[in-house]
């Protein structure tokens, strides 16, 4: 039903294509943008254009980068002997926020999902193997999500790397800090018990 | 913590200013836009720019319009003797979707909210009174939201119009269609009983 005048409908339609934005939110954001002072609304258009023009992918690890290599790959204080393998650039941010990790990354660009036709060929697995051959890497941390796709991907990579003389580790699954035993699902609690450590 | 490279952080920041978009969603949408083909992402920037350039407010009713008057005010099949007073342009859309209403609108631009300094002067009340003086209006439907601000605004307008020889009506409050008596709050159920009609 074409209730909106042309450009408004276009705006609602494009906003509705964004992840997590339903029709109601798209409408709300569209009218918010229409109500905003001109410059404030155009700033959003500008940063989108700017980001698409200036941001690309790091040639080495496929993190977001505004030069050939990303900020982390260019930082020579980072330990080049450890590679943390993640699914997406946003996972790099999540790991960085812990301030626990000083190595480098490798962004796969997703996780294996046979139902959606995503196999190892669709991910940057070949590029990871090339790095392991070229760089002096001693440990690979498999830091994919602890869900079905992420676990499948981690298992696949672990199997693929079993003959390479490199330590391959997987991040721990268990109860979240501040969590409650009573409310934990059996799988998570099972993993927490399985992964118990001596105190 | 400046984990993102400049233009990515700018994009996350601007997206985070949109209503209903928290930091996590902003990040998710930003990486979605970065991953999209260039043209698809730039289309969003274009429609924002386009909408800001072409969309303004109707001179008569303050709905969104791409000409001096909005589509509804320009449509001479609409009944000019009834004005439906709403808070925002999105409320026009909500009423239009019912296909029950054939009159015109007046968009106040918000609702009275003394705590946030929004009084009648901040709304397009003066413009409504001018229309009632100029146009041959026989009924004003107060269609502001059934919440505190909307009710206050409706009461204020009803009082202001009590000496004008125009029928002033308020939309009904009651249980939503498909709703459940058991789960209705007392206020809504009270209103439903108060507003009962003979069958």
Taking only the tens place, the pLDDT of each residue in B61-92 is 999 998 899 999 999 999 999 999 999 998 99
B198 has pLDDT over 80: no
- Rounded to an integer, what distance in angstroms lies between the CA atom of residue B170 and that of residue A189? 56
Kindly report the average pLDDT of chain A as a whole number.
90
Cβ of B47 and A97 within 8 Å? no
List B residues 31-60 in contact with A (Cβ-Cβ < 8 A). 31-34, 38, 41-52, 54-55
- Alpha-carbon distance values, B194 to B56, B141, B150, B175, B190 (Å): 41, 19, 19, 12, 6
A37 has pLDDT over 50: yes
pLDDT tens, B8-41?
Answer: 899 999 999 999 999 889 999 999 999 899 899 9
CB-closest option in B14, B27, B55 to A44: B14
The three-state secondary structure class of A64 is strand
Token readout for B168 is 């002033």
Cβ of A51 and B7 within 8 Å? yes
A169 has pLDDT over 70: yes
Q: Report which of B115, B51, B128 is spatially closest to residue B87, judged by C-alpha positions.
A: B128
Phi, psi torsion values for B118, nearest 5 degrees: -100, 105
A2 has pLDDT over 70: no
Residue B197's pLDDT band, with cuts at 50, 70 and 90, is: confident
Cβ of A55 and B5 within 8 Å? yes
A48 has pLDDT over 60: yes
ipTM: 0.75
Taking the Cβ of residue A194 and every Cβ of chain B, the question of whether any pair is shorter than 8 Å is answered with no
Q: What is the mean pLDDT of residues B122-134?
A: 94
B2 has pLDDT over 90: no
CB-based contacts of B157-161 (< 8 A; 24+ apart in sequence): B157/B85, B157/B125, B157/B128, B160/B125, B160/B129, B161/B132
The fraction of chain A above a pLDDT of 70, given in percent, is 97
pLDDT tens, A60-117?
Answer: 999 999 889 999 999 999 999 999 999 999 899 889 888 889 999 999 999 999 898 9
The three-state secondary structure class of A181 is helix
Residue B1's pLDDT band, with cuts at 50, 70 and 90, is: very low
Cα-only R_g, chain B = 21
Taking the Cβ of residue A6 and every Cβ of chain B, the question of whether any pair is shorter than 8 Å is answered with yes
Cβ atoms of residues B118 and B110 within 8 Å: yes
pLDDT of residue B12: 93
A178 has pLDDT over 70: yes
Kindly report the average pLDDT of chain B as a whole number.
90
A1 has pLDDT over 70: no
Measured at the CA of B95, the angle between CA B90 and CA B97, to 5 degrees, comes to 95
The three-state secondary structure class of A35 is helix
Token readout for A86 is 């993640």
Please list, residue by residue across A124-159, b when 16 or more beta carbons sit within 10 angstroms of its beta carbon and e when fewer do. bbebbeebbeeeebeebbbbbbbeebbbebbebbee
Beta partners for A84? A105, A141
Taking the Cβ of residue A3 and every Cβ of chain B, the question of whether any pair is shorter than 8 Å is answered with yes
Cβ of B33 and A49 within 8 Å? no
Task: Give the number of A-B residue pairs with CB atoms closer than 8 Å.
Answer: 153
Taking the Cβ of residue A78 and every Cβ of chain B, the question of whether any pair is shorter than 8 Å is answered with no
Extended strands (E) in B26-121: 56-57, 64-65, 79-86, 103-107
CB-closest option in B52, B65, B93 to A38: B52
Contacts of A27 in chain B (CB under 8 A): 90, 93
B5 has pLDDT over 90: no
Residue B3's pLDDT band, with cuts at 50, 70 and 90, is: low
Taking the Cβ of residue A14 and every Cβ of chain B, the question of whether any pair is shorter than 8 Å is answered with yes
Q: Is the pTM of this model over 0.90?
A: no
pLDDT of residue A190: 82
Phi, psi torsion values for B106, nearest 5 degrees: -140, 120
Taking the Cβ of residue A20 and every Cβ of chain B, the question of whether any pair is shorter than 8 Å is answered with yes
Tell me the domains of chain A and their CATH numbers.
6-54 (1.10.8.420), 77-194 (3.40.1360.10)
Which H helix or E strand runs over B120? none
């Amino acid at each position: 039903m074409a209730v909106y005048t042309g450009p408004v409908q276009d705006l609602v339609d494009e906003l509705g294509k964004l992840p997590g934005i339903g029709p109601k939110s798209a409408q709300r954001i569209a009218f918010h943008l229409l109500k905003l002072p001109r410059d404030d609304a155009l700033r959003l258009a500008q940063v989108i254009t700017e980001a698409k023009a200036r941001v690309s992918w790091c040639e080495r690890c496929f993190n977001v980068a505004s030069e050939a290599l990303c900020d982390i790959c260019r930082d020579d204080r980072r330990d080049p002997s450890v590679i943390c393998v993640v699914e997406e650039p946003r996972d790099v941010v999540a790991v960085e926020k812990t301030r626990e990790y000083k190595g480098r990354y490798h962004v796969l660009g997703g996780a294996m999902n046979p139902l959606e036709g995503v196999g190892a060929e669709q991910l940057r697995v070949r590029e990871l193997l090339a790095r392991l051959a070229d760089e002096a890497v001693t440990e690979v941390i498999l830091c994919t999500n602890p869900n079905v796709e992420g676990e499948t991907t981690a298992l696949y990579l672990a199997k693929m790397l079993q003959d390479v003389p490199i330590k391959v580790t997987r991040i721990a699954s268990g109860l979240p800090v501040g969590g409650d035993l009573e409310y934990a699902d059996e799988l998570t609690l099972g993993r927490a018990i399985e992964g118990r450590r001596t105190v």
